[in-house]
Amino acid sequence: MLLLAVLALVGINAWTVLSVKPHIEPTPAAVAESGQTYDCIIVLGASVYADGTLSPILENRVDAAIELYNQGVAPIIVMSGDGRASNYDEPTTMKEYAINQGVPADDVYCDPGGYHTYDTMWRVHSVFGAQSSVVVTQEYHLYRAVYDARGVGMDAIGAVSDTGTYENQLWYDVRECAGRVQDFFQVLTNAVPDNPYVDVEV
């Protein structure tokens, strides 16, 4: 049983990565060079510090999305993350950062129900109505994110936002292995997230 579990873990991770690898671009510039446009750019949330600044991982993601937006890859950016608490709101903080970098407020949507990667993709497609997207996050996370996006029905590609190494990278990599297994089965069963229409403003 243990051997079967290990084989399943390895197999699902390999399938997730290899099946979407052709849809991953190494930089935002590589996406822009293709000349193709999409309905939206999706930025996946990460930690926001108590003083309201973005963690390095999140700042890299938002900066990459702004670059894509400025290159005309998509007309809007969807900031998705955990927005459940009055004193902790990833999407709004991400939007404020983008506005301060010159992105018009009307072109930035907030998805406060993106508690998990699969939830984000399901909501952007099923609630916001996007048919195509560019997903922005670090490479270790991007394979699962694009797998989820394509799994829920979007024509999605990924743009790697890495600019260097991050603290606790080994932990992120280990956690991602488990996340891919979970999301594989969510895609397989067409799962509907908990509270799928929470705080929807389209």
Contact 179, 117 (CB under 8 A): yes
Average pLDDT of the chain to the nearest whole number: 91
- Give the pLDDT score at 108: 97
pLDDT digits (tens, 9 = 90+) for 189-201: 999 988 766 665 5
pLDDT digits (tens, 9 = 90+) for 27-51: 999 999 989 999 999 999 999 998 9
Domain boundaries, the chain: 16-188
Rounded (5°) CA angle 154-144-166: 130
Res. 186: pLDDT tops 70: yes
User: Mapping DSSP to helix (H, G, I), strand (E, B) and coil, where does residue 16 land?
Assistant: helix
What is the distance between the alpha carbons of residues 24 and 192, in angstroms, rounded to a whole number?
26
- Give the pLDDT score at 200: 56
Res. 154: pLDDT tops 50: yes
CATH superfamily membership of 16-188: HUPs (3.40.50.620)
Residues in the chain: 202
Average pLDDT over residues 123-130: 94
Q: Write down the pTM of the prediction.
A: 0.91
Contact 80, 178 (CB under 8 A): no
Res. 202: pLDDT tops 50: no
pLDDT digits (tens, 9 = 90+) for 16-32: 999 999 999 999 999 99
Average pLDDT over residues 70-86: 90
Query: In the structure encoding, which two tokens stand for residue 115, read together?
Result: 């508690």
Q: Which residue has the tokens 């996340």?
A: 179
User: Mapping DSSP to helix (H, G, I), strand (E, B) and coil, where does residue 116 land?
Assistant: coil
What is the distance between the alpha carbons of residues 110 and 130, in angstroms, rounded to a whole number?
14
Contact 109, 74 (CB under 8 A): no
- Give the pLDDT score at 198: 64
